Chain A
Amino acid sequence: MRTIKAVPRNAGADQPAERPTQPLVALRSISRLYDGGAIAALRNIDLEIEAGACVAVVGASGSGKSSLVNLMCGLDYPTAGTVSWEGRLLRSRRRWARLRRECIGIVFQEFNLIPTLTALENVELALFGRGLSAKQRTARAAVVLDRVGLDARMHHLTTKLSGGERQRVAIARAIVMEPKLLLADEPTGNLDSISAASVADLLFRLREKTGMALILVTHDDALAARCSRRVRIRDGVIVDDARQATTSAGVGAMFAT
């Protein structure tokens, strides 16, 4: 399988006005192997994500999308190659944890919330270790939950929330520290169509307001079409990486809060 180096083509609309010299995240010759090399989730990947980018990562199930995202945020470690953040190589768990604490927010398909805590408390968890008092954490979490439309539900246990509401809590947790990069791995995969559209609208609206980079892993072509760049993965290699003209917001805009 030919490996296409990820040099974006068809540069068109949605070009950032000023491009920083260093990419936000850069993967160089990344491979991720399992079972002693018998399984290659990723093979010799090169990829750069610039600040403020809006990138869709698409591919079939098992193509390596989630593995790629995990390596971009330090939830997993490459078998070969390097990952750098704003030009600095990242090798230690401590530095990756710090990045996730301060610069990278992650939204998962399964929400990954703590079921014994309320929505507010789940968001507060992301503010531990930032030198804030308990009151400050609570106040900040409440503001963000209000922004995602959950001010009336913030004191409910997450087990009492709908799927769409839980994903909003997860988004709030991911953006509460005002990250430079938001990684969303199939954020609408477990939601009904209306909730999915609403959550998708929320993600893009937040990106527009904050200017953070958004990497969206999805198998939904309509969702991918709303991003300015599409990276396609197949069998652990990038087979296409192209800029594209974005489509407008979908049906979910009617339900945006």
Chain B
Amino acid sequence: MNLVGLATRNLKRRPIRTSLSILGIGLAVGAALALIALSRSIQDSTREGMNELGDDLVVMQKGASDIFGGFIPERTTERVAALPGIARVSGEMVTFATSETNAVLTLGWPDGSYLWQKVPLREGRVPAAGERHVVVLGDTAAATLGKKLGDEMELIDQRFRVVGIASYTTVVNRGLVLVPLADLQEASYRPQQVTIIHVNVEHASGRGELGRVRNAIEALGGVTVSTANEVLDNDRNFAILEAISLAVAIIAIAISALNVLNALVMATQERTREIGIFAAIGWSGGRIMMSIVIEGIVLCVVGCALGVLLSFLAAFAFPHIPAIGNLISFRPSVRLVTPVLAAAFVLCIVGSLFPAWRAVRMIPADALRRV
């Protein structure tokens, strides 16, 4: 028998309290993991979507708080296209549009945009040049809206006809609604404007070339240029989401530490006499403290394992919920789990130290008199 065996026995002696403590820790850790994974996955999904569209660079209005808030004149697209090293560009308007009762991520591309040529069609076609009030749906969007090829649908209080169904691979793009830019500009009262510009660079693999083109575009004035991976770094909405997620995760982890503290304080009070026995047979204060801290660690290990399991169960279940799965992919990862578990462990140990410290301060004779 050793200290770990002794701690395990003590925890088994109070099955209900031990189970509740483990459940509390597990839910806190699982919630923290889910919240952080959620905020990260929104960013990851957006980046993946942009990468799937094949962007080397993305141009946004300087000072815009997010990708929806840019007001870039459409002629800026032509100025960018004229720069040396540019392979192709396309303006885009991005907005959340209402379709009956659904809010759908809607992109407007100009006639002749290379982005239309890259749409992975499953059925139908892309809009013809000059064609208006037609739409290509991502397959998830089609399923959510209950539309198939040839159907009419309402979008931004106007009627559109479905001419194509796309089969993108990323979660964000599978939920897209693609319309001619002119229709979206008209509906949003933003004529001859785009919110972002997609850019392909001729020799993008050269790191220096990307930087040179980036500087050249920014020199046009009034714009900032990012890679697809960087595009959300300055997005205020995502920054707020990340801050909220992190704050709630910290609160969740702190609650789990309080859980451990409460469980161990109660256990220490109930075991006052036992602690007196340990002192009577010559256990040092350090060893007594260690026995209590080990109990806290055992609770934490089992609780964290439960929390990781719960987060992966959520990752499995959430994609099946359309309100979530149509927008983001939810993926807890080792890179995400490790810091959360480390924080939970540290807090659980800290939560164990207070009752342990109280225990060794008692006069053994007083402890032995307790019932």
Q: Which residues of A contact B285 (CB under 8 A)?
A: 93-94, 97
Binary CB contact string for chain A from 108 to 151 against chain B (1 if under 8 A, 0 otherwise): 10001110110001001110110000100110000000000000
Asked whether B282 lies within 8 Å of A134 as measured between CB atoms, the reply is no
Interface of B is mostly: helix
Q: How far is the CA of A97 from the CA of B276 in the complex (A)?
A: 12
Are B9 and A126 in contact (CB-based, < 8 A)? no
Give the chain A neighbours of B273 by CB distance below 8 A: 112
CA separation between A114 and B273, bound complex, in Å? 10
A241 at the interface (CB under 8 A from B): no
Query: Is A99 touching B9 in the complex (CB atoms < 8 A)?
Result: no
Residues on the B chain within 8 Å of A124, using CB: 1
Contact B363 A114 (CB under 8 A): no
Q: From A113, A121, A129, give the contact of B282 (CB < 8 A).
A: A129
CB distance B282 to A100 under 8 Å? yes
Residues of A within 8 A of B10 (CB): 116
Judging by beta carbons under 8 Å apart, are A75 and B282 in contact?
Answer: no
Which residue of chain B has its CB nearest to the CB of A134?
B2
Q: Are A75 and B280 in contact (CB under 8 A)?
A: yes
Complex Cα–Cα for A100 and B284 (A): 10
Given contacts A75-B364, A114-B274, contact A121 B1 (CB under 8 A): yes
Given contacts A70-B365, A76-B363, contact A125 B281 (CB under 8 A): yes
Query: When the two chains form the complex, which single residue of B276, B283, B364, B365 contacts A101, counting CB atoms closer than 8 Å?
Result: B283
Please report the C-alpha to C-alpha distance between residue A77 and residue B277 in the assembled complex, in whole angstroms.
Answer: 17
Quick check: is B278 within 8 A (CB to CB) of the other chain?
yes
A134 touches B1 (CB 8 A): yes
**B234-280 residues at the A interface, CB under 8 angstroms:** 273-274, 276-280
Name the residue of chain A whose CB is nearest to the CB of B366: A76
How many A residues have CB within 8 A of the partner chain? 33
B365 touches A76 (CB 8 A): yes
**Chain A minimum-CB-distance residue to B277:** A112
Chain A minimum-CB-distance residue to B273: A112
Q: Do the beta carbons of B9 and A106 come within 8 Å of each other?
A: no
Known: A134-B1, A134-B2. A125 touches B368 (CB 8 A): no
Instruction: Given the known inter-chain contacts A75-B364, A76-B365, A121-B1, please indicate yes or no for A116 contacting B13, CB distance below 8 A.
Output: yes
Alpha-carbon gap, A114 to B6, bound state (A): 10
The docked-state distance in angstroms from the alpha carbon of A134 to that of B5 is 11
Assembly CA distance A197 to B13 (angstroms)? 34
A98 touches B13 (CB 8 A): no
Most buried by A among B12, B279, B281, B365: B281
Residues of B within 8 A of A100 (CB): 279-282
User: In this complex, what residue of A is CB-closest to B3?
Assistant: A128
B287 within 8 A of A: yes
A77 (CB) vs chain B CBs: closest residue: B363
CB neighbours (8 Å) of A97 from chain B are 279, 282-285
Which residues of chain B from 117 to 158 have any CB-CB distance to chain A below 8 Å in the complex? Answer: none
